[in-house]
Amino acid sequence: MLYLYLDESGDLGFDFVNKKPSKFFVVTILAVKGNEANRCLINGVKKTLRRKLNPKKKRKRIVEEIKGTKTVIDVKEYFYHQISGLDFGIYSIILNKKRVFQYLMNDKSRVYNYIARQVLDRIPYEDAQERIVLTIDKSKSKPEIIEFNHCIRRQLESRIDPIVPFDIHHSDSNPSSAESHWM
């Protein structure tokens, strides 16, 4: 099985005069092959959350996910140590939002779908023999999810062997909600 985890950083706001949107929009996919590797990844996240971000004596506010910008380097190193034997791939695209055409600034869903497709195109699918599971951090409305899924399926069906099932899940990025889809 090939597990793909897609998440974004930044926002798709383009009003640089009246608001303070991010300068860049980043879409990243973490790719993991096999059930055992996927379990190792999920367990590494859970251990890091439990031991480093939510220790028993400091549970005033529960942290549900590891954030790249808000997490100190010691915690990141601990997490990496938890998954150090894991074979994984990271694929990412950074969009400089000041270079987006004016007419696309009002069609954020199209921009998001396009960037996601560009990242997904970089992943080698030849090794996926059993199933491909794409999990996306839930950030879209129901119509946007339907449009995204249709767009991605249409794009990837030409690259994936027809006998290999391809699943798309939209879920919260915390490990407790993700586990039901990923295991």
User: Does the pLDDT at position 42 exceed 70?
Assistant: yes
Instruction: Give the pLDDT score at 141.
Output: 85
Predicted model pTM: 0.87
User: Does the pLDDT at position 153 exceed 60?
Assistant: yes
User: Does the pLDDT at position 66 exceed 70?
Assistant: yes
User: Does the pLDDT at position 103 exceed 90?
Assistant: no
User: Average of pLDDT values for 78-83?
Assistant: 93
d(CA 8, CA 27): 4
User: Average of pLDDT values for 58-66?
Assistant: 77
Taking the domains of the chain in order of start, what are their residue ranges?
Answer: 2-38+86-182
Instruction: Give the pLDDT score at 59.
Output: 67
* Structural fold of domain 2-38+86-182: Nucleotidyltransferase; domain 5 (3.30.420)
How wide is the angle at C-alpha 125 spanned by C-alphas 121 and 127, nearest 5°? 160
Average pLDDT taken over every residue of the chain: 88
User: Average of pLDDT values for 156-162?
Assistant: 89
Q: Which of 113-117, 120-124, 156-160 has the lowest mean pLDDT?
A: 156-160
What percent of the chain has pLDDT above 70? Answer: 93
pLDDT band at 183 (very low <50, low <70, confident <90, very high): very low
How wide is the angle at C-alpha 5 spanned by C-alphas 160 and 101, nearest 5°? 85
Which parts of the chain are beta strand (E)?
A: 2-10, 24-33, 88-96, 132-137, 166-171
